[in-house]
Structure 1
Amino acid sequence: MMSTGSMLEAPQAFIYRENQEKQVVTMASEEEEIVMTPSKKGKATYIKMERNKKVNDSSSPQVAHVAGGQHKGIVINKKQDVAGEDLFGKPQLQLGFMCFLVDQKTGQHYVESRKLKFWYQENTDYYHQVTTAYDFFKELVRPENFPRDYIGFIKKCMKQMQGDKFRMARKVDLEIEKLDEGEAPMTPGRTISLDQLGEDGFDGFGLMKEDTRPKEEIVREKILTVLESAYPNVLAVEDLVRITASEEVMVTEQLKSLYDKELVKEMENGGIVRQVLDTKTEVKMVKQMPTIASGQQPTIAIITAMYCEKLAIDAMMENKTTYVKYKTEGESNVYTIGYIGEHKVVSTKLPAIGHFRAAQISSGNSTTRLLGSFQNIEHVFVVGVAGGVPHVTDYSKHIRLGDVIISRRNDKGYIYYYCEKIVQDREQQVHYNLKNWAPRDMVLQRIAECIEESLHTNPDYAPWEDYIREGQELLMAQEANFARPAPSSDRLYINVGEGQVIEVQHPEPTDGVIARHDVPKLHFGVFGSGARVVRNDSTKLDFATKYGICAFDTEFDQVLDSICGNVKESFMFVRGIADYRDGSKGKEWAPYSSLAAAAVVKTIIKSLKNRQLDDL
């Protein structure tokens, strides 16, 4: 197997290979050639590939070889001793990824960082820059024809540049560096045998981890997850058996364990409900909500969909009481009433939400009951977790796990897009059938703008960080862990087709910018949702780019219809990033990201004026 430094012998190796292959001309343009120049700087090896006009000058002292046959149009320059400054300036986009390798001679595992840097033809817009970079990368690392050695990898880069599909790329640089043991990230999730790795040991496929815990522990976690999703609804034992696909004896045994920990409670009809452990909150089980005088009613409603989201937002409240309006059959409701700053607020958790129509309709009905029960509501927040849209080629736009996104209107006034259907016309162009929503009252938008302005003028402005720490102290006794996960768990993958994925590096900050990975970064933008969109990476990228989507969410179309149908004109989404899909899979990051979003909401609410106090 070649070492990293062997790529400096690329001209000679390329000549040898080129002479062994059939002479078939596939040049995209007879007027162009791709010029490759290898060089080295420090521990890194650089391969520069430029698209130039054809000059037919093989006698130049820097030219090592002019390829022919099927590689006609490729020129190999002699190696440069040191990589010089780039005459093209900084790359317009950069995309890095990791290769997990095995040295076939020694059997030693190591990791290489590979970076692709792109420069484009003049007047190439940002959308085409991004899609070209993604497509170039995905074609390059496609598992069924992934190059098995360095020369093949470089050759494939140059051949792709010759194709019409990537003609917008004026120049592509490949930077390769073998990482020291301390610099290397964790290996992919599962271990696979060396014969599965191919000649250079590349592994882009090992993401599935086998759950080796005892069966009892796995079933117990499933039961708790189901009850938390259904909360405040009551489930029968037979429901838990069916949903967890477990034997009734096993479910009954694990329920006893959960009873002992006071995590669940048996109701009068034998049904089971998740029990909230919160010594700071009085919990009352009621058949009907008590009457609240008009002047004492909450003016802010906060809607959550996951159990940890509800815990996080309640941790931001003071002087609070939780009312569980339960039904032995059918839908129950939970309302926590308390104060954030000088504002009286009510929080609720939707019994279920997701890609099933019944769950969506249920979420809309729950929202309608909330707004009907508390008729003085002026502002509505939807708070919790979502899936970030990563910009692996652009640090300034990149979103990472634990970051928080505040909904902000785009140039059309919308903050949320829901894709109902995807259709193709006769020309095979993709079109999205959409629903969209926009708040009419701009008071929350103006507060968000003030927060963004404060961040620009004072990068240390972050009151939500104190609220996160306070919330973590309050939630220490909870089953869920609200601490921020280790940065090494924030791993990013791109689907390259046929169920195969490649790990991609997070983009690096620009010069002078110090990246922090221990606190949330705030972003402002538009949310999107739709099961048909998020299930495919290419569609997600296209949809996100066309509509400026910052994050994908579970489907809140029925919730938004209810908010607007009840004439609530001031509403906002604040979502912590738990994964890179739609927030539903990010179990490790969901508690912390929920808490980060709740802390930002507290910051926004404390910036609001209280009209009830102003009227006194």
Structure 2
Amino acid sequence: MGDSDEVVMMAAKRDGRSVMRLERMFRSEIDEKLVHHVAGGPHKGILIAKAVDNLKDVEPPEGRLEFLAYLVNEEQQNQSVQDYWTLRFWFRGQAEGVVKKKTFTDYFQELMNPSNFPKNYIGFIKKALVLLKIYPVIKRVELEVQETEDPSPEDSIPPIKSFTSVFTPASYTYQLVPEVQINNKTFITFMVKAAADAHIALSAVYGDVDRKTFEIVIGADGNTKSVIRYGAGGPDMTESMTMNILSENEFRYFWVNWANNKIEVGRGANYGLGAFLQLTVPPSKQFNINCLAVSTGTPSRGQWEFAELLDAEKDFGKEAKKKRIKHSLLWIAKKQKMLQCLEDAYPNMVKTADLFKYCKIKQSDTMAALVFLSDMQKKNLIKEVEGGFWMRLQSSQESDIVKHDVKIVKYLPDLKGLDQPTIAIVTSLFCEKIAVDAMIEEKITYVKYKTEGESQVYTIGRIGRFKVVSTKLSRKADSEQEARISTENTITRLLGTFSKVHHVIIVGVGSGVPHFYKGDKHIRLGDVVVSVPSRKNGPIYMHCDKIEKMGGADGYNYSTREWDCSDNSLQDVAVSLKQIIERDTSPQRPWDRYINDAKDALQTEESNFHRPPMKTDRLFYTDDDGTEIELEHPVPGKGYRVGQSNCRLGVVASGKLVSRNPRLRQSFAELNGIYAYDSDMSVVLESLDGNRNNSFIIIRGISDYSGGSRKEWQPYASLAAAAYMKSLIYALK
């Protein structure tokens, strides 16, 4: 039997209280002698252990909920029984505090949902076990029940207290606590266990504890005094002698109030009583407090608990759950949009204000948005290079074997002689750049950044016997003219910086031109189109910038610009490679192997580079009246391998006037031997022409059929194009 993931229930008594521990464990960790029952059917994976006298000691919980439960005892004339319940939570992995808080709150609300609340205690435990299976981030839950004589409220639901636990090392390093939202509060209450130096930072800006921050230190100077400072480690603004106010063996209660530009700190669980620190904030130091961070100094580790009340009436029920799900999905979409914005801008940076404006983040949501930015920075997806300037990051390491250094620099190192690349690779999307770099060996990436103006990114390495450099065009510009200038500058700098570059390969995604009835010419998603002339002395790339309907005729005049190469080395290799592949009967083409190798290296990336399911590759034909009709893909021609990336040679084109119109798109393609459209590389080709580069080729992985952007296919299509690029370079003489 494999080492499967099981949920085990253990029952015991602790200080006279009933305790149920529900724990996620591997099968190899479970002592079979202690198993009382193994569930089957829909509850497979749940085990009930025999009752024990004492449960094994574990680390402190990371979250806790406490509430009063009023039950009816049917065996004693329906007499009311009052219990005090405590639910404790532990988590797996390195989930963020906000995620943990939301997870255990959602688990509790689902458990206590009145619409399907269990009829008895056994049913309740059963529901708790089943729920744990669908919340994989939760490692362990404890349910502790204590009978109590507290008076029962008559007209309201008793309060549900939610506790968030935070653990701080003895290093005076602030730990942000975004799960405790304070931007809509004027006070907090908490407990802390520490020998000395318990620091609380109340800040205006998330993650910045140096500016616009009030720092409260409880038990400073060896647990002898407490102070309020402006900024972390800043000058004392007020202090009070507080001998032995903290304890490293027991929790002590405190509260902090910051209403009406006055800061007060007190001891005890009763807010407003026992104040020992007060500060009236001068006008020059006044600001809105939006976030909380805590720390303990070098003498002591700390354990903190922050308490909040859950509004049971507001948070329970199907409508509330739908609202929470909708809100979560909206924030996932906003987070993805922020990441997409930074990817489009890369290697340029984006100001926080511009990022929020582009992603339509409301003023009231800025704190939550900053939390997501901080979360993405912790995961090394983005970086705040300078205050308020954000940049998307490439992974510094793809695997244990393939190393990739990424350096953010002000100046590029000098490359001499043989270190100068002779092949340049140009990409536009972030996933295209990542896919290309996965094909490069012995690589190092330099991001030459500017806060104002254009940055550049260059990944330098080797493919086969050739030194190569890859770059990415920034797609973030306020106007089409700005975008053209930025692209021209990028290409000019690329060729000026790397003067030995002879061949330029433009790699990325494109939109395929399907042949609805000819299988030998049909293109499917995930295939690759390589720019080769469809006729002798014909162009390899076309851009249509104007269309005129022919008078009295059922046709159009297309105004186009065309490009070809005076040096056809790359096109000749593409033709030769196609002939070799057609004669080769081996099950794997070179690019198939490169795709498979790279998928392992790219598995930690945010984008999913695996090939999407075949069922998502749907083909539509647009009728004369605009009706879309779904068609079956034609029977493939000889040598075409369904479910793999196949290569077609033909012209690549651009121009929104033709690529976005279904009828013109097909007729223009048939007229000119076009196999794919892209997002317009005409500016790149003009710049290559202006810099007298005579050898270039365009490689497009097909991600859609419509001239739009099928996001789900873009990463794989980028990978297929990059893998073909590597095959082409290896075949280059």
Provide the TM-score with structure 1 as the length reference: 0.62
Which residue identity does 1:404 align to in structure 2? Answer: V
* Higher gyration radius (CA): 2
Q: Tell me, what secondary structure is at the counterpart of 1:422?
A: strand
Q: In the alignment, which of 350, 357, 375 is matched to residue 257 of structure 1?
A: 375
Establish whether residue 420 from structure 1 lines up as the match of residue 532 from structure 2.
Answer: no
Q: 1:514 to 1:301 in 2, by over 3 A?
A: closer
Q: 1:274 to 1:353 in 2, by over 3 A?
A: closer
Count of residues paired in the alignment: 397
Q: Output the CA distance in 2 between the equivalents of 1:360 and 1:221.
A: 26
Tell me what 1:237 maps to.
352
The alpha-carbon deviation at position 427 of structure 1 amounts to: 2.9
Q: 1:269 to 1:398 in 2, by over 3 A?
A: same
Q: 1:396 to 1:216 in 2, by over 3 A?
A: same
Tell me what 2:451 maps to.
328
Q: Is the 8 A contact 1:353 1:554 kept in 2?
A: no
The alpha-carbon deviation at position 514 of structure 1 amounts to: 7.4
Establish whether residue 217 from structure 1 lines up as the match of residue 316 from structure 2.
Answer: no
Tell me what 2:528 maps to.
404
Q: 1:606 to 1:390 in 2, by over 3 A?
A: same
Tell me what 1:521 maps to.
646
> What is the percent sequence identity of the aligned residues?
42
Task: Give 1:343-354 correspondences, 5 Å limit.
Answer: 343-352=466-475
Task: Give 1:498-513 correspondences, 5 Å limit.
Answer: 500-509=627-636, 513=638
Q: Output the CA distance in 2 between the equivalents of 1:330 and 1:211.
A: 38
Q: Output the CA distance in 1 between the equivalents of 2:409 and 2:396.
A: 18
Q: Is the 8 A contact 1:216 1:254 kept in 2?
A: no
Q: Is the 8 A contact 1:353 1:363 kept in 2?
A: no
Q: Is the 8 A contact 1:379 1:570 kept in 2?
A: yes
Deviations 1:325-370 (A, max 9, x none): 1100111110000000111000000011799343233222211111
Tell me what 1:270 maps to.
388
Q: Output the CA distance in 2 between the equivalents of 1:427 and 1:318.
A: 59
Which residue identity does 2:506 align to in structure 1? Answer: V
Q: Tell me, what secondary structure is at the counterpart of 2:711?
A: coil
Task: Give 1:375-454 correspondences, 5 Å limit.
Answer: 375-411=499-535, 412-427=537-552, 429-454=555-580
Q: Tell me, what secondary structure is at the counterpart of 1:214?
A: helix
Task: Give 1:300-339 correspondences, 5 Å limit.
Answer: 300-339=423-462
Q: 1:284 to 1:493 in 2, by over 3 A?
A: same
Which residue identity does 1:330 align to in structure 2? Answer: G
Q: Output the CA distance in 2 between the equivalents of 1:239 and 1:212.
A: 23
Tell me what 2:620 maps to.
493
Q: Output the CA distance in 1 between the equivalents of 2:681 and 2:382.
A: 28
Q: In the alignment, which of 471, 478, 483 is matched to residue 605 of structure 2?
A: 478
Q: Output the CA distance in 1 between the equivalents of 2:489 and 2:452.
A: 16
Task: Give 1:573-588 correspondences, 5 Å limit.
Answer: 573-582=698-707, 585-588=709-712
Tell me what 2:715 maps to.
591
Q: Is the 8 A contact 1:325 1:334 kept in 2?
A: yes
Q: Is the 8 A contact 1:386 1:551 kept in 2?
A: yes
Q: Tell me, what secondary structure is at the counterpart of 1:396?
A: coil
Establish whether residue 556 from structure 1 lines up as the match of residue 674 from structure 2.
Answer: no
Q: 1:384 to 1:295 in 2, by over 3 A?
A: same
Q: Tell me, what secondary structure is at the counterpart of 1:402?
A: coil
Q: Which runs of 5+ in 2 are unaligned?
A: 1-324, 398-402
Q: Is the 8 A contact 1:240 1:251 kept in 2?
A: no
Which residue identity does 1:362 align to in structure 2? Answer: S
Tell me what 2:672 maps to.
547
Q: Is the 8 A contact 1:418 1:529 kept in 2?
A: yes
Tell me what 1:366 maps to.
490
The alpha-carbon deviation at position 571 of structure 1 amounts to: 0.5
Q: Output the CA distance in 2 between the equivalents of 1:316 and 1:451.
A: 18
Higher relative contact order (CA 8 A, sep 6+): 1
Q: Is the 8 A contact 1:219 1:254 kept in 2?
A: no
Q: Is the 8 A contact 1:353 1:555 kept in 2?
A: no
Establish whether residue 356 from structure 1 lines up as the match of residue 475 from structure 2.
Answer: no
Q: Is the 8 A contact 2:345 2:476 kept in 1?
A: no
Q: Output the CA distance in 2 between the equivalents of 1:259 and 1:285.
A: 15
Task: Give 1:560-575 correspondences, 5 Å limit.
Answer: 560-575=685-700
Deviations 1:376-410 (A, max 9, x none): 00100000110000111111110000001111123
The alpha-carbon deviation at position 509 of structure 1 amounts to: 3.1
Q: 1:361 to 1:492 in 2, by over 3 A?
A: farther
Q: Which runs of 5+ in 1 are unaligned?
A: 1-209, 610-616
Q: Output the CA distance in 1 between the equivalents of 2:354 and 2:430.
A: 19
Q: Output the CA distance in 2 between the equivalents of 1:564 and 1:532.
A: 24
Which residue identity does 1:579 align to in structure 2? Answer: D
Q: Is the 8 A contact 1:286 1:325 kept in 2?
A: yes
Q: Is the 8 A contact 2:640 2:646 kept in 1?
A: no
Q: Output the CA distance in 1 between the equivalents of 2:724 and 2:351.
A: 37
Deviations 1:268-290 (A, max 9, x none): 14211001123121111111211
Q: 1:497 to 1:215 in 2, by over 3 A?
A: farther
Tell me what 1:299 maps to.
422
Q: Tell me, what secondary structure is at the counterpart of 1:488?
A: helix
The alpha-carbon deviation at position 519 of structure 1 amounts to: 1.2
The alpha-carbon deviation at position 490 of structure 1 amounts to: 0.6
Q: Tell me, what secondary structure is at the counterpart of 1:581?
A: coil
Q: Is the 8 A contact 2:432 2:509 kept in 1?
A: yes
Q: 1:278 to 1:469 in 2, by over 3 A?
A: farther
The alpha-carbon deviation at position 499 of structure 1 amounts to: 6.2
Q: Output the CA distance in 2 between the equivalents of 1:470 and 1:456.
A: 23
Q: Is the 8 A contact 1:552 1:581 kept in 2?
A: no
Establish whether residue 465 from structure 1 lines up as the match of residue 592 from structure 2.
Answer: yes
Q: Output the CA distance in 1 between the equivalents of 2:593 and 2:498.
A: 30
Q: Output the CA distance in 1 between the equivalents of 2:617 and 2:522.
A: 13
Deviations 1:109-130 (A, max 9, x none): xxxxxxxxxxxxxxxxxxxxxx
CA-based RMSD of the aligned residues comes to: 2.1
Q: Output the CA distance in 1 between the equivalents of 2:585 and 2:698.
A: 23
The alpha-carbon deviation at position 254 of structure 1 amounts to: 2.2
Q: Is the 8 A contact 1:415 1:438 kept in 2?
A: yes
Q: Tell me, what secondary structure is at the counterpart of 2:623?
A: strand
The alpha-carbon deviation at position 443 of structure 1 amounts to: 1.2
Q: Is the 8 A contact 1:381 1:574 kept in 2?
A: yes
The alpha-carbon deviation at position 212 of structure 1 amounts to: 9.4
Which residue identity does 1:292 align to in structure 2? Answer: L
The alpha-carbon deviation at position 504 of structure 1 amounts to: 1.7
Q: Output the CA distance in 2 between the equivalents of 1:325 and 1:504.
A: 48
Q: Output the CA distance in 2 between the equivalents of 1:597 and 1:514.
A: 19
Q: Is the 8 A contact 1:305 1:353 kept in 2?
A: no
Tell me what 1:144 maps to.
none
Q: Output the CA distance in 2 between the equivalents of 1:483 and 1:316.
A: 16
The alpha-carbon deviation at position 424 of structure 1 amounts to: 2.5
Task: Give 1:79-98 correspondences, 5 Å limit.
Answer: none
Tell me what 1:606 maps to.
730
Q: 1:419 to 1:212 in 2, by over 3 A?
A: farther
Provide the TM-score with structure 2 as the length reference: 0.52
Q: In proportion to residue count, which structure has more strand?
A: 2
